[in-house]
Amino acid sequence: MNDVIKVDVRGDVAIVRIDYPPVNAHGHPVRAGLLDALNRLAADGAVRAIVLAGEGRMFISGADVREFDQEPKLPSMRTLLDALDNSRKPIVAAMHGVAMGGGLELALACNYRVATADAKLALSEVKFGLLPGGGGTQRLPRAVGPELAVKMIVGGDPISGTQALAAGLVDEIVEDPIAGGEAFARRVLAEGRPLRRLRDDDSKLAAARADRSIFTNAATAATKRSRGLDAPKACVEAVAMAVDGVPFDEALTREFDAFVKLLQGDQSKAQRHVFFAEREATKIAGIPEGTRPRALNKVAVIGAGTMGGGIAMSFANAGLPVTIIELSEEPLTRGLGLIRKNYEASAARGGLTAAEVEERVNLIQGAVGLDKAGDADLIIEAVFETMAIKKEVFGKLDAIAKPGAVLASNTSYLNVDEIAASTSRPQDVLGMHFFSPANVMRLCEIVRGAKTAPDALATAVAAARKAAKAPVVVGVCFGFVGNRMLELRGKQAAKLLYQGVPPQQMDGVLTKFGMPMGHFAMMDLAGIDVGWRSRKDHGISAPIEDALAEAGRFGQKTNKGFFKYEAGSRAPLIDPEVETLIQETMTRLGLETRKVDDQEILERLTYSMINEGARILEEGIAARASDIDVVWLYGYGWPVFRGGPMFYADQVGLKTVAERLAHYAAADGDDSLKPAPLLARLAKEGGTFAGWRA
């Protein structure tokens, strides 16, 4: 037996413990050791029952993700599951901590299951773009019924031990997995309970077999949010096999084939990339070993507008007290009112209890006057996007904030070093750029200034994580990573607009690609008047956008912009008035309409920003390509199944991306579209962004 599996024979009950730190993944050493242990115990006449448990913090976290892209090593999961299924001695899975993915599948192949009340049980494969390939889609519906099974398998989220007991997934709640598991096993022996096997028990399938709509309704509800994704569909099809009476072994084979197909597909590769990218992003370059984040017990947010309110909510959600500060009572009352309204809306949707609403609202104290920020460990400024105002606020905060407090700006574009220079403590200043709506969007770009101290940076990263955000450290430049790339996409979209390409065609291309909204719908959301006012201030014109604004079409806020909106709906609808307005403006300017196909639109809109991503990498504004992916995934809703723009570029092939860009640069006589030096070099060498290191 290998040292990963520990066997402890206590009279006629053997305790088998998996000890494979850090998370007891069922990697090759676990499978090999378990199979070996099961074979030995089968042959050991003194042993009459077996308890399977995990050492340390959990039962089994799931598969060893590092093995996904390697040659499969025997014994396979199927061999191990067969050994559990065929055991002549009762096996009790005793779960604590986490039992996910293949870990729960192993437990499902045991005869009995016990768990601690707070254990988290899930078939979470869908999060990697996969389906449970170890019988989970067949055994879980037999344990809990197909409705809950399809919900769990398509959603991938855990249920607690207590919920699992109610659902029939576990037989008993135990305090201690080993002692409780052993006691349970002894009772099984004493009572002469049968070798119960889920594979033989179709009782919970009967209702859905008699009325298939029971299953289809549950499946429809479960897949509501999985547009464009292959895995949830495959999960439903697999569970349907149990409902439709496909013989168990045949279903296992088909389930595994579906698993392999997903595993080898682009979507799962992209989703696994996302998983690693998010973890990589928390590794910050240039921070001395042993750097500790500063204490974080209290947060202050300056400005109770769109962003300030959402930021305050994010920290209150994490249980931190927040002071939100305004210039006067009026905007403060408005801001606090909106916060309450947002919480009440999530309570109405079932996301929060009434008590939780009160708890969170009470964590957010409103105040007038910056001096109320004096006791905060972290101060986040979210006032108007004007350098002079930001400098004034930071200058005042310098005199008010306690020593060592981290001073962050939520600026979208402004130079964080210049803001820092308005204080006597630039080492404590950085950017924390949240995305709208800030209580929902997970991205937080942490902007590292030239003088930002390592522990201030570490504090901001820790604070963002505490607020359940995905932090990405970026350097100072106009728009940082996300908005800087967005700018390039916007330039292409505007160019095509003035060639008569309808906004709905361009938006359609992006939403078909998987973006949550198109470029023009996004402008409607942000407000067309914002750019219009700023252009007027600077004496610049953009005839189509100006004409829209002058017609009172400010976007969603006036229910019409590039699109029209029905009251209370955010769905963009085509408006013939806009078509006329665009046509008239083009005629007036003497511009010609050009027919542009969807492929060109997609290439122009995505490759242009990828090209900027290459510049961002080369300049060191982002530390790695996967950080840029995280920015787009969590800040702009880039579809997970496409892994992020840089991952997508690698999948398309950098040679193709560079060639197409060069083609458009030549066609337009636009040098800004020429492949960036890094992209050109990687394309020539056959390299990838993922493989590139500074």
Give the catalytic positions in this structure. 105, 125
Q: Which of residues 197-236 bind ligand NAI (CB under 6 A)?
A: none
Query: Closer to ligand NAI at the Cβ: 372 or 615?
Result: 372
CB nearer to ligand NAI: pick between 8 and 371: 371
Smallest gap from Cβ 667 to ligand NAI, in A, equals 34
| Chain position whose Cβ is nearest to ligand NAI | 305
Choice from 27, 56, 305, 508 touching ligand NAI (CB under 6 A): 305
Rounded to whole angstroms, what are the CA distances from 89 to 11, 30, 38, 59? 14, 21, 10, 21
Return the range that interacts with ligand NAI (CB under 6 A); candidates 177-185, 234-242, 252-260, 429-437: 429-437
- Told to check if 380 binds ligand NAI by CB under 6 A, we report no
| HEC-encoded secondary structure of 235-278 | HHHHHHHHHCCCCHHHHHHHHHHHHHHHHHCHHHHHHHHHHHHH
> In a 3-state reduction of DSSP, which class is residue 489?
helix
Structure tokens at 436: 């709208």
Q: State yes or no: residue 500 binds ligand NAI (CB under 6 A).
A: no
Angle, helices 248-264 vs 266-280, to 10°: value is 60
CB of 9 or CB of 530, closer to ligand NAI: 530
Q: Which is nearer to ligand NAI, 199 or 535 (CB)?
A: 535
Establish if 76 lies at the interface with ligand NAI (CB under 6 A).
no
From the list 327, 347, 477, 551, which residue makes contact with ligand NAI (rule: CB under 6 A)?
327
Cβ 28 to ligand NAI shortest distance, Å: 46
SS3 category, 15: strand
Q: How far is CA 518 from CA 102, 535, 544, 594, 609, in A?
A: 38, 23, 18, 20, 15
- Report if residue 479 touches ligand NAI, rule: CB under 6 A: no
Enclosing H/E stretch for 302: strand 299-302
Q: Which amino acid is residue 336, in one-letter code?
A: L
How far apart are CB 556 and ligand NAI at their closest, in Å? 13
Give whole-number Cα distances, 337 to 316, 333, 344, 352, 567, in Å.
15, 6, 11, 17, 22
Please choose, out of 24-32, 197-205, 434-442, 503-511, the segment that lies near ligand NAI by the rule CB under 6 A. Answer: 434-442
Which CB atom, from 436 or from 688, has the smaller least distance to ligand NAI?
A: 436
Q: Are strands 443-448 and 429-434 parallel, antiparallel or unpaired?
A: antiparallel
183/464 with CB nearer ligand NAI: 464
Residue by residue, DSSP assigns 383-444 as: --S-HHHHHHHHHHHHHHSPTT-EEEE--SSS-HHHHHTTSS-GGGEEEEEE-SSTTT--EE
User: Minimum distance from CB of 554 to ligand NAI (Å)?
Assistant: 14
Bond preceding residue 75 cis, omega within 30 of 0: yes
Question: What string marks each residue from 285 to 304 as x (binds ligand NAI by CB under 6 A) or -?
Answer: -----------------xxx
Entry field: residues in the chain: 694
Report the residue number, 46 or 388, with the smaller CB distance to ligand NAI.
388
Closest CA to 615 of 514, 491, 478, 490: 478
529 touching ligand NAI, by CB under 6 A: no
Provide, rounded to whole angstroms, the least separation between the CB of residue 331 and ligand NAI: 4
Residues 384-403 interacting with ligand NAI (rule: CB under 6 A): 384-385, 389, 393
Binding site for ligand NAI (CB under 6 A): 302-308, 325-327, 331, 382-385, 389, 393, 410-412, 434-436
